[in-house]
Chains A and B, each alone.
Chain A
Amino acid sequence: MNVMNMERNGLNNKSTFSAVSEFIAKNKIGFLLIIVLYSALFILEKMMPPSSMLFVVLKKGAIYALVAVSMNLLNGFTGLFSLGQAGFMLIGSYTYAIFTIPVEDRAAVYQYFDGGIIRFTVPVFIALIMAGVAAGIFAFFIGLPVLRLKSDYLAIATLGFAEIIRAIFQWNKLGPITNGSNLLKKFPSFSSVLFPFTVAGISIALIVLLINSSYGRAFKAIRDDEIAAEAMGINLAKHKLLSFVISSFFAGVGGALLAMYQTTVQASAFKAAMTYEILLIVVIGGVGSITGSVISSFLFIACSEWWLRFLDSETYIGSFKVPLLASGFRKVVFSVVIMVIVLFYNQGIMGTREFSSEGIARFFSRIASRNRKEGA
């Protein structure tokens, strides 16, 4: 604990500016790559037709990356096996939608509830933060009783809370606020792929900073051995709750982005199956690897929305009907792949390693040195 305090003080004493500039200097290649990525996206959008599947994948992939990373913070870095992510996304997306539907459209959206009771709107940016805060507040009150439970009981209790949240949002008595079980629509959405990338990018960067801080080290200690962590002076209840609330905050922001992407929201879509899907993304990427979660969410979305679509439609080559291909086959292939990963490659794509610019540099220098040796 003393060591941690010293570190925290040390950070505070240094001027923030020099700390930031030092951080940037240390990760020069990484920042360069990020700048290159964003400008590439900008150019792509200018060059390709906006209806291209690529943009669907990029938009949805960025959103799922954020949600998967937020789940990884909980499951992979704090060792809390929670299955409540869909519930917190639901809170986020509803909060965003409720507060941003333009006043003049409310009568049409809340047609069964006299235009609803909320008669104002807030700017998109503030609504996004509100979405996260709302999810975080719910998480705080859910976490107080639930986080005392151990592994699988925690999983089933958080799954239960997600179901309860869904039922409450569909409740007709709350219709003037949530529109009951009807759709919410006509709220502002985004068209450029840069928007979800920026929001998700900033959020993921914040999570990475958290994980690399003394709090993150405390989370990892809890994950590795709860009893030892407690003996080292880490306040278990406080840190678990902190991780749970922060994870839910970002799940809420992710939910709001998902609402913007879909342009409509309905509570019945946020089922336990959605949580399972996100959990499988985390597992494919590697439990405990941020970059793994990001890579696997883009892969997952690309496969399910684009590359494997052909499995779902009956295909003829000449007069020969390709066997097995029919509606639903894509998901079967998917689940088999997932089972293979779970059973034989339980590390996922990245394990607990991270994809870094130094790693790439090392990789290339290793290849170069091997080539030199072979040449000699």
Chain B
Amino acid sequence: MEFINKNLPYILAGISLGGQYALISIGYTMVYGILRLINFAHGDIFMFAGFAMVYLAASTPLYVSIPLVIIITVILGFLIERIAYKPLRSAPRMSVMISAIGVSYLLQNLAWYFTSGLAKQYPKIPWISGSITIGSATTPIVTIITPILTVLLVIILVMLIKYTKIGMAMRAVSKDFETSQIMGININSVISFTFIIGSFLAAISSILYFTSYSTVTPVAGAMPGLRAFVAAVFGGIGSIPGAVVGGLIIGMCENITKGLGWTTFSDAFTFALLIIILVAKPTGLFGEKTTEKV
């Protein structure tokens, strides 16, 4: 009991951070499942949502700005796909990845330009910024809300993919790009829809994440983005439950390494985890095995 009481704040914070990573990593995993592309810009979409909130909350009430942030982020994700990835659909995979890195570079530089590189204070959101006491531990409400919201959103997403027509199309495209095209699936709308879902979840995650970190900087999306990608690989790329489990594990690990006083190594540890899983079980925890045909 003593141990739990002492470490409860770390564990709770870990679960909450893990939930936020899980929401971002769903975006990675879905895009990778369909396009076989690491969307390096995804972390920056997440950062962009943070800045959008900072600026919108300054001029509009929260019940307007939160939906607006989500809409703007979704539009951004959609546009990035249309402008930067769609023209390269038949190009080698390396070019698309370079394009993704270019978009990420562009978004970071744009953010730097508009904010002069200064960290901006994230607005306080009344329902989730306060704190709450559980047992002997006091934690911000956001640590309680995040896991609940994550689970809820994931359930909705899984239902969407399992039972709707567009979900079925997404599964088909991720199985076989060309064949599903022959079967009459409109590839472009499926891909756009994937980016829209990914950006939507990134926007939600950014609201939760930046509420607990309180400032936004132009490079704020880079590391969470990479960690969420590691989470997606860890859970098995293409698998949504895998992304959630991976996100939770990465979030917990990060907070435990920080709790033990190894802050310098928290990123290194995440990547060490990635390399171990890639070498030992490249398909991740829940990934499907693919065979390469010659």
Q: List residues of chain A with CB under 8 Å of any chain B CB.
A: 75, 81, 145-146, 148-149, 151-153, 155-157, 159-161, 163-164, 166-168, 170-172, 181, 227, 272-273, 276, 279-280, 283, 287, 326-329, 331-332, 334-336, 338-339, 342-343, 346
Contact = CB atoms under 8 A, between A and B. Distances in A.
Top 5 A-B pairs ranked by shortest CB distance?
Answer: A160-B271, A167-B268, A328-B113, A335-B106, A331-B109
Most buried by A among B37, B95, B274: B274
B264 A163 contact: no
Contacts of A149: 278-279, 282
A167 B264 contact: yes
Interface stretch (B71-79, B97-105, B183-191): B97-105
B272 interface: yes
A149 B103 CA distance: 25
B168 interface: no
Contact of B109 (A157, A168, A326, A328): A328
A257 B94 CA distance: 29
A343 B99 contact: yes
Contacts of A161: 271, 275
B97 A339 contact: no
A272 B265 CA distance: 16
A81 B93 CA distance: 10
A346 to B, nearest CB: 6
B233 interface: yes
Contact of B278 (A81, A153, A336): A153
A157 B88 CA distance: 24
B106 A328 contact: no
B259 interface: no
A279 B106 contact: no
Contacts of B52: none
Main secondary structure of the interface of B (DSSP, over half): helix
B38 to A, nearest CB: 5
A331 B97 contact: no
A280 B229 CA distance: 22
B181 to A, nearest CB: 22
Most buried by A among B36, B101, B222, B226: B101
A339 B99 contact: yes
Given A164-B268, A332-B109, A332-B110, A159 B226 contact: yes
B117 interface: yes
B34 to A, nearest CB: 14
B135 interface: no
B61 interface: no
A279 B88 contact: no
Contacts of B270: 160
A332 B38 contact: no
Interface size class of B (residues with CB under 8 A): 35 or more
A166 B265 CA distance: 10
Contacts of B294: 227
B95 A332 contact: no
Contacts of A152: 36-38, 93, 97
A352 to B, nearest CB: 13
Most buried by B among A152, A155, A171, A287: A152
Nearest to A180: B264
B91 interface: yes
A163 B275 contact: no
B172 to A, nearest CB: 22
Nearest to B101: A276
A283 B116 CA distance: 28
A339 B109 contact: no
A331 to B, nearest CB: 4
Interface of B: 36-38, 83-84, 87-88, 91, 93-95, 97-99, 101-106, 109-110, 112-113, 116-117, 222, 226, 229-230, 233, 264-265, 267-268, 270-272, 274-275, 278-279, 282, 294
B99 A160 contact: no
A343 B83 CA distance: 9
A283 B278 CA distance: 27
Nearest to A346: B95
Nearest to B38: A152
A180 B98 CA distance: 33
A272 B38 contact: no
A339 B98 CA distance: 9
B274 A156 contact: yes
Contacts of A343: 83-84, 87-88, 99
Nearest to A228: B294
B117 A328 contact: yes
Nearest to A326: B113
Given A152-B38, A156-B230, A338-B105, 16 more contacts: A149-B282, A152-B36, A160-B270, A160-B274, A160-B275, A163-B267, A272-B222, A279-B98, A287-B94, A327-B117, A328-B116, A334-B109, A336-B106, A338-B102, A339-B99, A343-B88
B117 A157 contact: no
A334 B279 CA distance: 37
B94 A151 contact: yes
A151 B36 CA distance: 10
Contacts of A153: 233, 278, 282
A101 to B, nearest CB: 23
B279 A145 contact: yes
A160 B234 CA distance: 14
Nearest to A287: B94
Nearest to A79: B94
Given A159-B226, A332-B109, A283 B275 contact: no
Contacts of B106: 332, 335-336, 338-339
A260 B6 CA distance: 49
Contact of A81 (B97, B104, B109, B226): B97
A170 B263 CA distance: 11
A346 B91 contact: yes
B105 to A, nearest CB: 5
Given A156-B229, A346-B91, A276 B105 contact: yes
Contacts of B113: 326-329, 331-332
